[in-house]
Structure 1
């Protein structure tokens, strides 16, 4: 899977020239809303954009593993933003900082008194091949109904 849209760029540029600002805003709203719904479902299912399960949790100091799904409240925190020039989906504030640690598998100190901990990569935000196809289909449907 590749997160670049180089193969779609010429096609999207031609479409962009044919739409006015209001139409672009409606299209971007539609795309961001649809993708947010798909991403929420994927996070709830504990899967990354490639369809692989998130890395499981480590044992705590006592030897037990915390039960339950990670990021249970996270789907509610996905934000969308759009205008005639852009469509964004992601997290904001402290949630964005925490999710960046998991997204890229960083090493941090959870609190000042603990030793640094390396978190495994748990990619919550990203485009799958199905997402790219969804974008193409939504643009096609939008153009046919405009």
Structure 2
């Protein structure tokens, strides 16, 4: 898949070089927003970029918990909102990533690192759940967005 991305980059370089800087900025913002929606949809579907499902959460003993117990809540429900999943695009690059404290949490899940669930709690090794990544459909989205921008 990285070869598809490199091929797309080589193909688009000449075309993008002919655009005015303001048009490149506009294109970058539009493509970034489209890619963010694609990443959010993949997080809603609980899938890694290769199409496999996220590793399930570990079971917790909730018998001693007082009050309402929320069950069957999807992972990364708040993390995928535009408040935390930011897009930056200029004439040279598009970046999609997490901001603030959420960035550390997302990094732990993205790479399957060790972290504490709460201050003073023991270290827990998290399963790898790739929140951000390119799929073949994302590369097609980039190509189609570029073509539609150039033909308009």
TM over 0.5: yes
Kindly report which structure 2 residues correspond to 1:51-66, keeping only aligned pairs within 5 A, or say none. Answer: 51-60=51-60
Stretch of structure 1 that moved more, 9-18 or 25-34? 9-18
Output the aligned Cα RMSD.
1.9
| Deviation for aligned residue 1:90 | 1.4
Match of 2:66?
A: none
Which residue, out of 112, 122, 126, partners 1:119?
Answer: 126
Gaps of 5+ in 1: none
- TM-score normalized by structure 1? 0.88
**Counterpart for residue 69 of structure 1:** 74
User: Residue 128 of structure 1 aligns with which residue?
Assistant: 135
Distance between the aligned counterparts of 1:134 and 1:49, measured in 2? Answer: 14
Q: CA deviation at 1:3?
A: 8.1
In structure 1, the residue matched to 2:49 is 49
- Runs of 4+, deviation exceeding 3 Å: 1-4
CA deviation after TM superposition for structure 1 residue 97, in Å: 0.7
**Does 1:100 find its partner at 2:110?**
no
Name 1:40's counterpart in structure 2. 40
| Displacement of 1:41 | 1.3
- SS of the residue corresponding to residue 80 of structure 1 reads strand
| Alpha-carbon displacement from aligned partner over 1:17-56 (angstroms, at most 9, x marks no partner) | 1111011001101100111111111111211222221100
| Maintained 8 Å contact 1:49/1:123 | yes
Unaligned runs of 5+ in 2: 64-70
CA distance in 1, matches of 2:29, 2:62: 47
d(CA) in 2 for partners of 1:3, 1:90: 22
